[in-house]
Amino acid sequence: MREPLISVRDLQVHFHTHAGVVHALNGVSFDLYPGEILGLVGETGCGKSVTGLALLGLIPPPGQVVGGEIRYRGQNILTLPPAQMRALRGGKIAMIFQDPAAALNPVFTVGEQIELVTRRHRRMGREAARRQAAEVLRSVGMPEPERILDTYPHELSGGMQQRVMIAMALSCGAEVLVADEPTTALDVTIQAQILDLLVDLKRTRGLSILLITHNLGVVAETCDRVAVLYAGFIVETGPTGAIFQSMKHPYTQGLLAAIPHPSSRGRPLQAVPGTVPDGLQLPPGCLFHPRCPFAWDRCRQERPVLREVADGHQVACHLYAGEAER
Amino acid sequence: MKVWEYILRRLLLAVLVIFGVSVVTFFIARVVPSDPAALWVGPRPSPDQIAAARVKLGLDRPLYIQYFYYLGNLLRGDLGVSIKTHQPIVRDLRAYLPATLELVLVGMAMAVFIGIPLGVLSAARRNRFLDHFSRLVAVASVSIPTFWLGLLLQLIFFGQLHWLPISGRVSIGTALYRPIQTVTGFYLVDTLITRNWPAFRDALTHIILPAFTLATYAIGLTIRMTRSTMVEVLQEKYIVAARAAGLSERTILFRLALKNAIVPTLTVLALSFVYSLTGAILVEVIFSWPGLGSYVTSAIINVDFPVIIAVTLVVTVFYVLINLVLDLVQVVLDPRVVLK
Ligand SMILES: Nc1ncnc2c1ncn2[C@@H]1O[C@H](COP(=O)(O)OP(=O)(O)OP(=O)(O)O)[C@@H](O)[C@H]1O
Ligand code: SF4
Ligand SMILES: [Mg+2]
């Protein structure tokens, strides 16, 4: 059995706002193995971005990790001293964002931005950093990397900007890439190119990618495994094939049933009737029970835990609890 | 290439502005009910003396002719003669302008080196101790009356601690034994290039209190302006991305964020600079600083119009130039800004 590179267990994140405590993550658990793409899917506001930021130790205030752990190569990074966490960020774990135009600093050239990152993590001179920057741009399929180094972000197209982001993320040899909706802001053909690039990086570099998306078409095409997030809680996780063919959780079933036709691919998930619970006031028991067609008494009282239903396929639902328990 | 074209165009425009200002001030000076000829002659003049002065000053000629003479002199670098002191104004300016510029520049440097870091750090530590502290500093520095602060500083640093001199640009000892050779008129510069170290030290200690007194208002503005733009910039996605790339907080704040946030602060500083050229009168009086503010104030009291016009023109030139520099700096800082 391979060792996971990243292993998240029962992660809980609260935002302490004026309105009260927002329960953003309520027990997120998943593993990310070397050289795989794990899709993290769920409706808007379910905590995908917060999960991604947590892997880099970047939960914005007033957010706070209140429970659980995140292990990178066995080491719990939540307890790392800030300096070591900073070395990990960009050095081993990197992140790219939905809107590359906003994620690149408008007043520095592409080269300056990449070099700043490379020189932060590796001791090297200006010249070497520049050569390395050009090299990493070439490796993400950027034509004329030397010229691109001297351009400003606004002079590039959206797809190029995202390539620059990926280049920057990988410029220090990151092993894990958190990609938060990396293609949502791009048009469809560019979207496909960026996804191809990610798959390519996985194959050639053995990069592990947490691909955050609400586009199930993207998941089907690129991900090895999928984790389904609902109200800050992982309800189902397993190999992409298993999830698409024999999904177990009522929420996942609803999600997938909501894609009636390939043409609806790319629409945001609006799957199941009802609304996502308010993070300020979570329902007791199974978080999904107010919307679940199968809910019964036990669902209203007891929170289900993830249980293995098939090889590598786990579901958190009382329907699949062992016969004896049920 | 485009940049030079732009600068040239702006400079031509500047000449027009300066011309316009000269016309306006000149004619305002002539419609105000006061008689330059009488002022020129001095107290209790006889009618003959006034008539003679009128001819000497060219006041007997039509107004537009007077203006063309004035303009002709101006183009030759002659700003005229003070009606009150009968001194060439250019000579006065050569003494007062460097004194003021030196004071204001040192003051602005203080605003930059105190105000910007405080603004940046209070944005970064929003609503924490440093932020509250710097808010207090900012509010105090824009609301404390200048004369009161000046006197207070004199009381503390001269009266109690005996650390700094109370007034003037240099002490009498320096003037007598280590006289400063005037090259630029900026004492700090002149003493440096002539390697007159004791005089440099002396000039430096003299400028600290008045420059700080002058700078307090600008420091307060700089803190608040920097903080508010930085707060906005720090919420940008590229800041999160920079953190995600593991860059240090110092690099993020003072390099990546500040470059995006600096322009409004520079604008505030530029305006303070221009304002201080003539607005530093209180500071100049309290610290006996021989500057433009005192010069123009006494000119106003004496209705000494050639001086008022000349100082107005000088300030206009600075205003126009500073704005040009500000625009160019903006282009250098932000590639998305296009010159129009
Ligand atoms: N700065 C914040 N302050 C308060 N609550 C927050 C903050 N950021 C996130 N949250 C809470 O955390 C929850 C999860 O947010 P998150 O951004 O992770 O959602 P998401 O799944 O990425 O949604 P989307 O698909 O819209 O990007 C939200 O419902 C919100 O209530
Ligand atoms: S635990 Fe109960 S409420 Fe929750 S998904 Fe399963 S059946 Fe539905
Ligand atoms: Mg999100």
For chain A (length 326 residues), average pLDDT per consecutive 10? 89 94 94 96 93 94 93 93 90 93 95 91 86 92 93 94 94 92 90 94 94 92 95 95 91 80 50 77 91 91 92 92 59
Distance of CA B29 to the CA centre of its chain: 24
State the distance from the centre of ligand 1 to the C-alpha of A50, rounded, in angstroms: 6
SS3 of A259, please? Answer: coil
Within a domain: residue B159?
A: yes
Q: Which tokens sit at B183?
A: 């090259």
CATH number of this structure's domain A6-92+173-262+269-325: 3.40.50.300
- C-alpha–C-alpha distance, residues A212 and A175, integer Å: 17
Q: So where are chain A's domains?
A: 6-92+173-262+269-325
Tell me, yes or no, whether B38 lies in a domain: no
What was the pLDDT predicted at B29?
78
Mutate to test the pocket of ligand 1, among A28, A48, A66, A211 (most ligand atoms within 8 A of CB): A48
Nearest-Cα residue of chain A relative to residue B251: A116
Position B225 scores a pLDDT of 96
Q: Name the nearest CA neighbour of A29 among A308, A324, A326.
A: A308
Local structure of A9: helix, strand or coil = strand
Pocket of ligand 2 (CB under 6 A): A 249-250, 286, 288-289, 292, 294-295, 299, 304, 317-319
What pLDDT is stored for residue A324 in this prediction? 46
Question: Cα–Cα distance between A185 and A192 in angstroms, integer?
Answer: 12
pLDDT digits (tens, 9 = 90+) for A181-195: 999 888 888 999 999
Question: Are the beta carbons of B241 and A89 separated by less than 8 Å?
Answer: no
Return the CATH number at B140: 1.10.3720.10
Residue B89 is assigned to a structural domain of this protein: no
Q: Is B28 within the bounds of a domain?
A: no
CA angle B327, B328, B334 (to 5 degrees): 90
Q: Tell me, what's the pLDDT at B251?
A: 94
* Sign of the torsion formed by the C-alpha atoms of B276, B278, B284 and B290: positive
Tokens of B207: 């400028």
* Count of structural domains, chain B: 1
Residues of chain B with pLDDT under 50: none
Give the one of A89, A102, A172 whose C-beta lies nearest to B238's C-beta.
A102
Partner residue opposite A103 with nearest CB, options B237, B248, B251: B237
Q: Look up residue A149 and give its two tokens.
A: 């180094």
Interval between CA A42 and ligand 2 midpoint (Å): 17
Q: Please check whether residue A152 touches B, CB under 8 A.
A: yes
Q: Is the CB of A24 under 6 A from ligand 1?
A: yes
- Chain B interface mutation, best of A59, A95, A98, A107, highest count of B Cβ atoms under 10 Å: A107
Give the torsion sign (CA, A6, A10, A16, A19): positive
- What's residue B59's pLDDT? 77
Distance from the alpha carbon of residue A45 to the mean position of ligand 3, in angstroms: 7
The Cα of B244 is separated from the nearest Cα of chain A by a number of Å equal to 6
The answer to whether B299 and B82 have CB atoms below 8 angstroms apart is: yes
Radius of gyration of chain B from Cα atoms?
Answer: 24
Query: Does A106 sit within 8 Å of B334, measured CB to CB?
Result: yes
Structural domain including B128 reads: 94-292
Centroid of ligand 2 to alpha carbon of A68 (angstroms): 23
Chain A closest-CA separation from residue B8 CA (Å): 26
Instruction: Give the per-residue pLDDT at A181.
Output: 94
- Chain A positions in Cβ-Cβ contact with residue B238 (cut-off 8 Å): 102-106
List strands edge to edge, sheet with A20-32. A20-32, A6-17, A63-72, A75-76
pLDDT at position A271:
58
Residue A181 φ/ψ region, left for φ over 0, alpha for ψ in the -120 to 50 degree band, beta for the rest? left
Burial degree of B205 (CB within 10 A; 0-12, 13-18, 19+):
middle
What pLDDT score was predicted for residue A259?
62
From ligand 1's centre to the CA of A46, what distance in Å? 7
Residue of A nearest to B237 (CA): A103
E-strand stretches of A87-173: 93-96
Strand partners, A230: A233
Alpha helices, H only, chain B: 2-31, 36-41, 47-56, 63-75, 89-110, 116-124, 129-143, 146-153, 172-177, 187-193, 197-233, 237-244, 249-251, 258-279, 281-286, 292-301, 305-333
Chain B interface test: which of A105, A120, A181 (most B C-beta within 10 Å): A105
- Picking from A252, A222, A221, A224, the residue whose alpha carbon sits closest to that of residue A236 is A252
